[in-house]
Chain A
Amino acid sequence: MPALLSSLNTMGRAMLSQRAGANTAGHNIANVNTPGFRRQEVLLEAMAPSPHGVKLAGNRHAVDDSLERRYNTYMGLGGYSQTRAQHAADIESTIGQLGEDSIGQRMAKMFGAFRELTAAPGDHAHRLQVIQRGQEFASSVRNAATNLASLQNEYNSLVNSDVDRANTLITEIANLNGGIKQLEAGGGQALSLRDQRDSAAQELAFNLGARIFIDDQGDMTVLAGGGLSLVQGQSARTLLADPDPGSGLTRVRVSGGAQIDIGAQLTGGTLRAHLEARDADIPQRMDDLDQLAFDVSASINAVHRVQFGLDGATGRDFFVDQATVNGAAASFSVDAVVANDPQAIGAATDPTMLPGDGRGATNLANIEDQNVAAGGTISLGAYWTSIVSDVGTWTQSLGVQASRADLQLEQVDALREQVSGVNLEEQMLSLMRYQRGFEAASRVIKTVDEMLDTLMAM
């Protein structure tokens, strides 16, 4: 049978334990809105051999590791899908504009100007209109090219800033690995540090599509791409972002040894989306735009060159001649000679029939119906419309994928919250429970105290 005094010790420990319970409930309540916080519970065990009361066996961290890993995977997909969908919408805004000022409509208006010229080939005002409509069309193409180029630069900056952020997170995780190990080696618990480490891991997953493992030492290992390890134990590798010697755009490599280019190997994350938009999506649309500009100038110039201006001269280009498809859109414009002199427009097929011969204008207008685009398979208007509708379909499907990824993320997040989230009513009840336990323990102390008094008075 234990001595009365030792009962005091036992109940003292009981009070401390109940107070710890209340503290933990308070800690949870305080962190109800903290992002990335996981609920803690005190673990109370009866001390053996009885009757020695209760002991505090530490705090339980309400975390389900497999859910956390699943969440990370979906974060990677989510970051990738959302960003890719946003970039697609950006690209759609540059070249997929609808309405009266769209590239397609301006091209149609230019052909309309040729058509109207057939009725008044010698008229100055009609010729000016041809030049004006040609220039408006050309400028809409050049603007689209410029906008695509600046989007590409923007995405390049995003690559740079994503790499910076990733490096910060990688270092943080490696440091946290060390911190957690240190605290727990001394028998303590590092639950807050673990929360921080998991938060960093989630952000890294969103950023790079990184995959997380806890190794048997309890350290977090971070893998990216096809299994490249970024963090192992306390050592972290750095991502290097420097301009590719060929394209001038940022390439992303991993430090150490062979400096592998990680860009192509990423499996998710916003970084992958930026790289794909920058290196695949935008160049493809640039090519489409270049092809249009090239086909328009080639087909119109071919006809215009053999026709005669009001001054009887021939051999002139209507649009600046493009040597190659590549870059045709950025330099697409009405030829300076024609632009400065409406008389130079070649609207006649017979120089002895000036100024009323408008058969050349008819020829130019008829190009609208001819299959001169994309290797001679389709008309210019149909070609451009197919590009625009392609962009729209692609944007739409990426949007759907992003919504789906969001939904999956929401669902897994809900599961995590079930396990790890804070419910205020629950915590309030815990608080009350531990408070009663505390009161009861103090009541026992009071009783023991009275018993001791009785002893002393004997």
Chain B
Amino acid sequence: MFRVSDKMTFGLMQSGVRKTQTAAYAAQRRAQTGLRVERVSDDPAMAARSELIGARLLRIKSMDRVAGHAEIALSVAESTLGVAGDVMVRVQELAIQALNGTMTSGDRIILAREVTQLREQMLSLANTQNAGEYIFGGFDTDTQPFLNDGSFVGAAGERQVEVSPGVMMGMNVSGDAIFGTSTGTDVFATLDVLISDLNTNDEAAIQTRLGELETVRDQITDGRATLGIRLDTLGAAEQIRIDQRSQLETAQADAVAMDPAESYVDLVRAQSALQGALAQAQKILAQMEQTIF
């Protein structure tokens, strides 16, 4: 026959209350933190997943910053080349003007002065700085890349940065490629020759220069277009990062977060279990009081 001792009865009440209290506390914590998995042991597989996702989210964050730098650098370079293109247009106008039959040698000397000024402007454009860095110096961002004589003393090369997972982009263009001192046509040499031709009143030479000026202008325009394409790619990369981040954040929440509705229901259930245990204890105590004492 089953005997029940007082210690058993009270023990049962106590353990019932204790267990429901523990469960209610845990449910409260989950509701408060919004986390289903607070410690690894709550769900080791999901915790591991969340950690790995966390690392990938951090990566996207640093790519955001890198891409931000790249965007500024490329925008500044692009608009600088826009101005450089306009300078070339003006030089071309002057060259055509110089071929007008009514021009005297004196007139041409005056034109030469303006072309000289435009050459100065081109030199300063080629030596543009953005936040203390020479943008067309390649790897050497500290030193002015173009000397007065138009020679390039920078360190040719493009800085490659990761703007979306696995996608690298050059965040600068080296001045020697645009202003033509390594490949293509040398801008400053061409302008220098034109100035000299104007000063010496050499019509035939000036005629020849026209073709060269066109080539130089195309070179600069092409350079600008390249930068424009890169800026577009940056825009696409940003969208990729946004999408990835959104997917990863959702995946992370699925792994470890508590659905608010679910956690509310959970909490209510745990608390009512606690109330139930306390009510039961009260009832048993009331019954005990009615004994033969």
Contacts and interface: CB of A to CB of B under 8 A. Distances in A.
Interface of A: 32-33, 39, 88-89, 92-93, 96, 98, 100, 102, 104-105, 107-109, 111-113, 115-116, 118-122, 350, 352-359, 362, 365, 368, 381-382, 384-386, 388-393, 395-396, 399, 410, 413-414, 417-426, 428-429, 432
A356 B139 contact: yes
Given A104-B54, A355-B141, A382-B52, 20 more contacts: A33-B6, A33-B7, A96-B39, A96-B40, A98-B38, A98-B40, A98-B256, A113-B62, A118-B159, A119-B70, A119-B159, A356-B140, A356-B159, A386-B48, A388-B47, A393-B41, A410-B15, A417-B7, A418-B3, A421-B8
Contacts of A359: 160
A98 to B, nearest CB: 6
B161 interface: yes
Contacts of B69: 119-120
A385 B38 CA distance: 15
A122 B171 CA distance: 15
B55 interface: yes
A105 B40 contact: no
B50 interface: yes
Given A115-B62, A119-B69, A418 B142 contact: no
Give the most central of B43, B51, B69, B172: most A CB within 10 Å.
B51
B47 A98 contact: yes
Contacts of B141: 122, 355-356
Most-contacted residue by chain A among B58, B65, B293 (CB, 10 A): B58
B59 interface: yes
A105 B58 contact: yes
A417 B5 contact: yes
Nearest to B256: A98
Interface string B5-42: 11110010001000000000000000000000111111
- Of A120, A122, A395, A399, most buried by chain B (CB within 10 Å of CB) is A120
B291 interface: yes
Contact of A392 (B3, B47, B61, B293): B47
A396 B65 contact: no
A116 B70 CA distance: 11
Nearest to B66: A119
Interface in B239-280: 256
Contacts of A96: 39-41
B55 A421 contact: no
Contacts of B137: 356
Contacts of A121: 159
Contacts of A413: 11
A416 to B, nearest CB: 9
Contact of B161 (A39, A107, A119, A422): A119
A351 to B, nearest CB: 11
A131 B140 CA distance: 23
Contacts of A389: 40, 44-45, 47-48
Contacts of A111: 59
A92 B7 contact: no
Nearest to A388: B40
A399 B160 contact: no
B8 A92 contact: no
B58 A112 contact: yes
B139 A118 contact: no
Nearest to A421: B5
A358 B142 contact: no
Nearest to B137: A356
Contact of A356 (B3, B40, B41, B138): B138
A115 B59 CA distance: 8
Which of the listed residues A33, A96, A353, A420 has the most CB atoms from chain B within 10 Å of its own CB? A353
Contacts of A382: 52
Contacts of B139: 350, 353-357
A424 B7 contact: no
Sorted from nearest, which 9 A-B pairs have the closest CB atoms?
A421-B5, A392-B40, A392-B44, A353-B139, A112-B62, A389-B48, A395-B41, A119-B69, A108-B55
Contacts of A355: 139-142
Given A122-B142, A362-B160, A421-B8, A116 B41 contact: no
B231 interface: no
B44 A358 contact: no
Nearest to B3: A418
B192 interface: no
Q: Among A88, A391, A392, A395, which residue has the most Cβ atoms of chain B within 10 A? A: A392
Contact of B292 (A39, A354, A365, A425): A425
Nearest to B157: A353
Contacts of B87: none
Contacts of B4: 418, 421, 423
Contacts of B5: 39, 417-418, 420-423
